[in-house]
C-alpha cells in the first residue's frame, strides 16, 4: 500500500493513475478538494477492482495532528509527498502566516509523518519515499523566495535522511520538476506562460505524466540503489 499526499492535485492525481496501473493499492490524500479525490477514487476502483483505494483528509498546516493521522494509515510500503502550495510576490511582502504555512506544508509535517511511518516502511525491506520538490530548490526564484527555500530544504532533508534509513532498505528521493502544466500555474496569464515556455529547452511545460513517470520508476523494488538524490525533471530548464 502506498500513500499519495496531494492526490487531489494535478501531479498527485497523475501519480495515482500511474501507480494504480502498476498494481499499487493507494491511500489518496486531499485537503479541500474532496470532490476531485472522490472522482479519482471511483475511477481507479472501476479500472483496478482487485486493488484498494481509500481517501483520507488532512491539512498539513496542523502539524500537531501528524502522529494521530499517520496512525490510521495501515501497511504503508511507500510514501509520495505531492502536496504543496505557493505564494507569488516579493519576499519583503511575505507574512509570518504565509512563511509558516510553506514550512509546515512542504517540510515540517512531512518530516513528522515520516517519524511515525518509518517503522512500517522498513517492514518490506524495500520501503520507498518520494518528494515532489522543485528546480527552484536549486536555482531559486524571485517572487517565490519562501517556496524556493522550502523546496531546497526538502532536498537537504532527503539527502541526510536517506543515509539513516538505507540499511533498512528504504530509499528517499526528490523528483524536482520545472514548470508543470497544472492548476498551480493557473494564476499566470498566457503571455507569462508563453515566455516561460520559450526559456525551456524542451520547448514545452511538463505534463503531470512526465513527473509521474519518474516517481513510478523510483517506487520499483529494483530501484534500490538510488537514494538521497534529487532528479531534475525540467526539460533542460534551469538544471
Where do contacts with ligand NAP occur on this chain (CB under 6 A)? 6, 8-12, 30-33, 59-61, 82-85, 105, 132, 134, 177, 179-180, 182-185
Q: How far apart are CA 214 and CA 202, in angstroms?
A: 17
User: How many residues are given for the chain?
Assistant: 239
Min dist. Cβ of residue 101 to ligand NAP (A): 7
* Strand, coil or helix: 19: helix
83 vs 216, beta carbon nearer ligand NAP: 83
3-state helix vs strand vs coil in the chain, percent to 5: 50, 15, 35
Min dist. Cβ of residue 125 to ligand NAP (A): 28
Min dist. Cβ of residue 22 to ligand NAP (A): 19
130 vs 162, beta carbon nearer ligand NAP: 130
Min dist. Cβ of residue 151 to ligand NAP (A): 7
Helix (H) or strand (E) holding 129: strand 128-132
Task: Show which residues are catalytic.
Answer: 147
108 vs 126, beta carbon nearer ligand NAP: 108
For cell 509570518, what's the residue?
96
Residue of minimal Cβ distance to ligand NAP: 9
76 grid coordinates: 504503508
Q: How far apart are CA 226 and CA 171, in angstroms?
A: 7
109 Cβ contact partners less than 8 Å away, ≥ 6 residues apart: 60, 61, 62, 63, 66
108 vs 179, beta carbon nearer ligand NAP: 179
44 vs 179, beta carbon nearer ligand NAP: 179
CA-based nearest residue to 74, from 119, 41, 32: 119
Min dist. Cβ of residue 156 to ligand NAP (A): 16
- Is 11 within 8 Å of 205 (Cβ atoms)? no
Give the number of C-alpha atoms closer than 13 A to the C-alpha of residue 217, restricted to the C-beta side.
14
Amino acid at each position: 500500500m502506498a500513500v499519495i499526499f496531494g492526490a487531489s492535485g494535478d501531479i498527485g492525481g497523475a501519480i495515482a493513475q500511474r501507480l494504480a496501473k502498476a498494481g499499487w493499492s493507494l491511500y489518496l490524500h486531499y485537503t479541500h478538494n474532496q470532490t476531485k479525490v472522490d472522482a479519482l477514487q471511483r475511477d481507479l476502483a472501476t479500472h483496478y477492482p482487485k486493488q484498494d483505494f481509500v481517501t483520507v483528509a488532512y491539512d498539513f498546516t496542523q502539524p500537531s495532528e501528524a502522529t494521530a493521522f499517520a496512525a490510521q494509515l495501515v501497511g504503508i510500503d511507500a510514501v509520495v509527498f505531492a502536496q504543496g502550495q505557493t505564494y507569488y510576490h516579493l519576499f519583503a511582502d511575505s507574512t509570518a502566516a504565509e512563511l509558516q504555512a510553506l514550512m509546515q506544508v512542504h517540510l515540517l509535517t512531512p518530516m513528522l509523518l515520516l517519524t511515525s511511518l518509518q517503522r512500517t516502511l522498513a517492514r518490506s525491506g524495500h520501503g520507498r519515499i518520494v518528494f515532489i520538490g522543485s528546480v527552484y530548490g536549486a536555482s531559486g526564484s524571485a517572487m517565490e523566495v519562501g517556496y524556493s527555500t522550502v523546496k531546497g530544504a526538502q532536498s537537504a532533508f532527503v539527502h541526510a535522511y536517506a543515509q539513516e534509513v538505507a540499511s533498512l532498505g528504504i530509499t528517499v528521493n526528490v523528483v524536482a520538476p520545472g514548470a508543470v502544466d497544472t492548476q498551480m500555474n493557473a494564476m499566470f496569464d498566457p503571455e507569462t506562460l508563453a515566455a516561460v515556455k520559450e526559456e525551456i529547452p524542451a520547448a514545452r511545460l511538463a505534463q503531470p505524466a512526465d513527473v509521474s513517470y519518474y516517481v513510478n520508476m523510483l517506487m520499483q523494488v529494483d530501484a534500490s540503489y538510488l537514494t538521497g538524490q534529487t532528479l531534475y525533471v525540467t526539460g533542460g530548464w534551469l538544471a
